[in-house]
Structure 1
Amino acid sequence: MPIFMDFHDLPEGVSPKHVAEMHQADLDIEHKYNCRGLTYWCDEIRQTAFCLIDAPDRQSVIDLHQNSHGAVPQRIIEVNDTIVESFLGRIEDPKKSKNTKLNIINDPAFRSIMVVKIKNKTLRVSEKNTLKAAIRGYTTSINTLTSHNNGRLVKQEANSFMMSFKVVTDAINCGIKIQELRNSVITPDLEFKIGISAGIPVTEKDGLFEDTIKTSNYLSAIAQNDLFITTEVKNLYEGENKNIPISENRSVRVLNSTEEDFMTRLMDYTEKIWSNPTTNVNDFEENLGYSKSKLYRTMMQLVGKSPNMFLRDYRLNKALERLEKQDGNISEIAYQTGFSSPSYFSKCFYKKYGILPSNLHSD
């Protein structure tokens, strides 16, 4: 049977004990609806609860809750148990303490999600082996740092990492340590791009932590060898640390609400149009609602690139991914990634990476 996670917005005054009683009420009659309640998370501060249930369908989850305690969830999504465990650390109730009637679990599902991307600045043949060795070493160290800072490695693909942390301070400290790791070794042709945001597992989207993951990915996409975080992450960090501010000399960049909004609109639009060769800066100005000069200033301040360069580099990154996977010939990849001709694509690729795409494609 599929597994579902639901979201409950708790009324004022509902305690972890009340949620434990509701969970027990589900377990008492779950067999009537062919369901199996696996576990739940309760966040008294944010007044939220999330249930994980093995059930035939969403309606069975609703019927179970309706007839056991009457609290119908605001949202239900289908999830993968392995992914749930990788983010949240468990998929079953922890063992109940001895001599207690209820299994009271005061354990929030709120998580900080960190995305780390290691990017090559160059692909020159003379340095490729050195860069590969450096990346292998960084991969081992990043995994170790994640564990030492109480994080969980959720996903790793090539040179990209995604981690989950219960405590924002742990996520920030891990990100800073990863930055220090990069700075401790001379690898000028690698850049580390790190983004951290925070949120709940179930929103209006269909995927687990989908909104938070998207924000962290966007932050890492625009980060300039810094640790980019949201204002919410900053506030949570300072709340956990007696209002001690995040030190600016740690290369932590906090995006304000206006910058976060611009980043989201910029990345959402770029993801829609990047493969269209007719898209240009005028389209960005029109769709983002910025004048030419304001768009340029905002992009340089936030991303460190002009709109033209940002779009070109975005396309080149997509092309590099396809070249490394041998996903089509060079002409096909050039057109698929929004370049007007293979010759122009090769020229831009060489300028950025110091190697022709034909040399990379033949490796």
Structure 2
Amino acid sequence: MPTDTNRHDLIDTPLQVLMVIESSNYFNRVDSLQFDLFYQRLQNSIHKTISKHRGKEKHLKTNIYLVTFNSVDDAISCALKIKHNAKYVTPSFDSSYKILNIGINSSKAKLVDEAIRMATYYCEVVSGDIVISSEVNSIYQDVHHNPKLNKDKIRSLKPREEDFLKRLMSFVEEHWNDSQFSVTDFSQKMGFSNSQLNRNIKSLTGLPPNSFIKKLRLQRALKLLYNRKGTIANVAFETGFNSPTYFSKCFSKQFGILPSTFLKQNT
């Protein structure tokens, strides 16, 4: 989650359009210090596209960018162009290069932290390559007199989905790494029946609750291993897995590589 203390300097007007871009660069390295040629091309393409669409860019983490725009048009056009270009600057035989998620939100200066947080959830949690908030969609519709965005390329969240996402992640952030955490606990504490919770989470993320939690744990475990924040066993227990062996099995199934191999490649 972005925590850069200087990100407020990106907000210089009452309303800004915020874009969070998350790329998967964990597997595309020549060695621990150098990205391969295809990933470098992808990054160069992203930078050029942002500049062309008058975006103001800040590199928050190795694979996360925060960009601000003065118009919704620029933000949406930029996102579509970034996704389009990724098809041509990366190899067709390896889909890992194309794991590129974009979240677009809007914010007034005083609420920028929350807006960035939600845009990051759009990238990490919501199913869809480009996810935009209901407010961004509303602004776009007003400017263009109600045109229809391509639903295959852009997912526009409804206000009720945004409210559910906010509630969901507020709860999940407290309990995601608890190995005793169950779907029944999940539903009861959030005030839903199991079937209601399943329906809402699956609609938002494309996954049932158990799979959603497991995927989130594995994503965070991946980041910990990438940043060398512990041994495989330590990371397994820290992210809510009861067994390093089971963790390795799940990791391999999710990412196509054993955590031990991944560590060696990034040492």
Class of the TM-score when normalised by the shorter of the 2 chains: 0.7 to 0.9
Distance 1:165 1:149 in 2: 8
Q: Is the 8 A contact 1:192 1:225 kept in 2?
A: no
Distance 1:267 1:245 in 2: 31
Partner of 1:111: 16
The Cα offsets for residues 39-96 of structure 1, whole Å up to 9 and x where unpaired, read as: xxxxxxxxxxxxxxxxxxxxxxxxxxxxxxxxxxxxxxxx97x6444343xxxxxxxx
Distance 1:343 1:172 in 2: 43
Corresponding residue pairs, total: 255
The Cα of 1:128 is off from its aligned counterpart by 5.9
Structure 1, unmatched stretches of 5+, are 1-78, 89-107, 204-208
The Cα offsets for residues 148-192 of structure 1, whole Å up to 9 and x where unpaired, read as: 111100234112111111111111111111121233442422322
Identical pairs, percent? 30
Are 1:141 and 2:45 counterparts? yes
Are 1:194 and 2:102 counterparts? yes
The Cα of 1:132 is off from its aligned counterpart by 4.2
Distance 1:134 1:282 in 2: 44
Partner of 1:211: 114
Distance 2:37 2:190 in 1: 41
Distance 1:224 1:180 in 2: 18
Q: Is the 8 A contact 2:137 2:156 kept in 1?
A: yes
Q: 1:132 to 1:263 in 2, by over 3 A?
A: farther
Q: Which amino acid aligns with 2:258?
A: L
The Cα of 1:263 is off from its aligned counterpart by 0.9
Q: Is the 8 A contact 2:161 2:204 kept in 1?
A: yes
Q: 1:353 to 1:152 in 2, by over 3 A?
A: same
Q: Is the 8 A contact 2:125 2:205 kept in 1?
A: yes
Q: Which residue, out of 153, 159, 178, partners 2:63?
A: 159
Partner of 1:263: 165
Larger radius of gyration: 1
What TM-score comes out, normalization by structure 2 length?
0.87
Partner of 1:26: none
Q: 1:165 to 1:277 in 2, by over 3 A?
A: same
Q: Which amino acid aligns with 1:117?
A: E
Distance 1:355 1:291 in 2: 36
The Cα offsets for residues 205-259 of structure 1, whole Å up to 9 and x where unpaired, read as: xxxx111111111111123342111111011112222x14242256111111111
Distance 2:218 2:36 in 1: 20
Q: 1:234 to 1:257 in 2, by over 3 A?
A: same
Q: Which amino acid aligns with 1:359?
A: T
Q: 1:237 to 1:310 in 2, by over 3 A?
A: same
Q: Which residue, out of 199, 215, 223, partners 1:321?
A: 223
Q: Which has the higher helix share?
A: 2
Give the RMSD, CA atoms, in angstroms: 2.3
The Cα offsets for residues 243-302 of structure 1, whole Å up to 9 and x where unpaired, read as: 142422561111111111111111111111111111121122112222222222222222
Q: Is the 8 A contact 2:127 2:206 kept in 1?
A: yes
Within 5 Å, give how 1:334-349 maps onto structure 2.
334-349=236-251
Partner of 1:295: 197
Q: Is the 8 A contact 1:195 1:229 kept in 2?
A: yes
Partner of 1:305: 207
Greater relative contact order: 1 or 2 (C-alpha under 8 angstroms, separation 6 or more)?
Answer: 2
Are 1:361 and 2:263 counterparts? yes
SS at match of 1:347: helix
